[in-house]
């Protein structure tokens, strides 16, 4: 290991990546490459927890790989790979399901939100956090940069690793969550009580990283605010949720305090037009780069294969140790 810090994080190819994904996670993925050993995983198995059209899943996966490269993930410095190409994830996931309890998985709010109590939701949506724990623990990650919506899953990962270590002997590293101070939960522009989600069908509420300049302008102009027409930041006031969200996005992209930004504006119109510019400054180079990368999908696929090979080597030993600690008999080659 070159660095003390080892970072692992994942993103689902469940739709087109949003500005929420960028300011809550991807921005930090890029920066972490200077200070850490980084593994970034396109978690395609997680995407299967809800129905995906096979052709769309394939397309979204390649598009997401191109997007990650376009935002600045460097495959020479980081390991960028597809979860489904490293079988260790599915294998350790089963072991994590044997460590987790039904009660603790039942308490996961994301399952309750996405499952909405329906008995026809896929069983994998319920066990998803065990797979997420496996993703992280396999690589002995010390730090996991995620948006605030993943805090509870991270806490579960820590609990499972600790329980495993206590029961079967020191095997896993207990990872630290890294949740940004601003932009940790970007909200839907049309319904600021809901987080922006790439799998939600809220086209007007989501800003996609591949949106055109005009689309960004339209969405920001139409973003829900309130009738007060006074720009100030008050995260504890639900009546200001829309404006708070716009200021948080501005703040995350410009590294400036929301209050300082708010002080420059006397009405929503100017705030919205300046925010549009700030967002487009970030998105335009990303969009151009994605288009270039998508001209050569074979190259993208090859790059992902190389990543998966590196990831398989990096995770082999921890899986072997976990299995053996539980009493499973290894193959003669030690795996």
Question: Residues within the annotated binding site for L-tryptophan?
Answer: 135
Longest dimension (CA), the chain: 72
CA atoms 294, 296, 298, 302: torsion sign: negative
* CA distance readout (Å), 53 to 21, 60, 178, 199, 203: 22, 10, 33, 13, 19
Residue 18, C-beta contacts closer than 8 angstroms, at least 6 positions apart = 186, 196, 197, 198, 206, 207, 208, 209
Q: Which residue is nearest to ligand ATP (CB)?
A: 24
Q: How many whole angstroms separate alpha carbon 79 and alpha carbon 138?
A: 14
- The nearest distance, CB 197 to ligand ATP, in angstroms, is 3
Question: Residues within the annotated binding site?
Answer: 12-14, 20-21, 135, 147-149, 186, 195-199
State the DSSP string of 15-44.
S--BHHHIIIIIHHHHHHTTTEEEEEEE-H
Q: Which residues bind ligand ATP (CB under 6 A)?
A: 11-12, 14, 18, 20-21, 24-25, 146-147, 149-150, 184-186, 195-199
- The nearest distance, CB 196 to ligand ATP, in angstroms, is 4
Nearer to ligand ATP, 12 or 225 (CB): 12
What amino acid positions are annotated as catalytic residues? 114, 195, 198
Nearer to ligand ATP, 136 or 322 (CB): 136
SS3 174: coil
H-helix or E-strand spanning residue 215:
helix 213-221
Cα 33 to chain centroid, rounded = 16
Nearer to ligand ATP, 184 or 216 (CB): 184
Nearer to ligand ATP, 47 or 314 (CB): 47
Nearer to ligand ATP, 45 or 184 (CB): 184
Q: What's the full length of the chain, in residues?
A: 335
State the DSSP string of 276-312.
HHHHHHHHHHHHHHHHHHTT-HHHHHHHHHHHHHHHH
Question: Residues within the annotated binding site for ATP?
Answer: 12-14, 20-21, 147-149, 186, 195-199
- The beta strands (E) that lie in the chain are given as 5-11, 36-42, 78-82, 143-145, 176-178
Cα pseudo-dihedral 140, 142, 143, 149, rounded to 10: 60
Token digits for 112? 């309750």
Nearer to ligand ATP, 11 or 133 (CB): 11
Cα 12 to chain centroid, rounded = 7
């Amino acid at each position: 290991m070159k660095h003390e810090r080892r970072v692992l994080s994942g993103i689902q190819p469940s739709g087109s990546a949003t500005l929420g994904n960028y300011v809550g996670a991807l921005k930090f993925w890029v920066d972490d490459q200077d200070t850490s050993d980084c593994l970034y995983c396109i978690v395609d198995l997680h995407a299967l927890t809800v129905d995906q059209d096979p052709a769309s899943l394939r397309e979204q996966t390649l598009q997401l790989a191109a997007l990650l490269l376009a935002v600045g993930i460097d495959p020479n410095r980081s390991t960028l790979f597809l979860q489904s190409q490293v079988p260790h994830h599915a294998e350790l996931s089963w072991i994590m399901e044997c460590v987790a309890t039904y009660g603790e998985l039942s308490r996961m709010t994301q399952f309750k939100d996405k499952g909405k109590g329906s008995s026809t939701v896929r069983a994998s949506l319920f066990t998803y956090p065990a797979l997420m724990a496996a993703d992280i623990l396999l690589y002995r990650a010390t730090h996991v940069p995620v948006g605030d919506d993943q805090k509870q899953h991270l806490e579960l990962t820590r609990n499972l690793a600790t329980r495993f270590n206590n029961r079967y002997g020191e095997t896993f590293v207990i990872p630290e969550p890294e949740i940004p101070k601003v932009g940790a939960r970007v909200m839907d522009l049309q319904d600021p009580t809901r987080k922006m989600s790439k799998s939600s069908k809220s086209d007007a509420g989501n800003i996609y990283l591949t949106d055109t300049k005009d689309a960004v302008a339209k969405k920001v102009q139409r973003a829900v605010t309130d009738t007060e027409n006074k720009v100030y930041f008050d995260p504890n006031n639900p009546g200001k949720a829309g404006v708070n969200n716009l200021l948080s996005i501005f703040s995350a992209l410009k590294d400036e305090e929301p209050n300082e930004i708010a002080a420059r504006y006397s009405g929503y119109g100017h705030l919205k037009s300046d925010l549009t510019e700030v967002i487009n400054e970030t998105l335009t180079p990303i969009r151009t780069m994605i288009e270039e990368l998508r001209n050569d999908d074979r190259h993208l696929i090859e790059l992902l294969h190389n990543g998966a090979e590196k990831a398989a080597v990096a995770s082999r030993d921890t899986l072997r140790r976990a299995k053996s600690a539980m009493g499973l008999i290894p193959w003669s080659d030690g795996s």
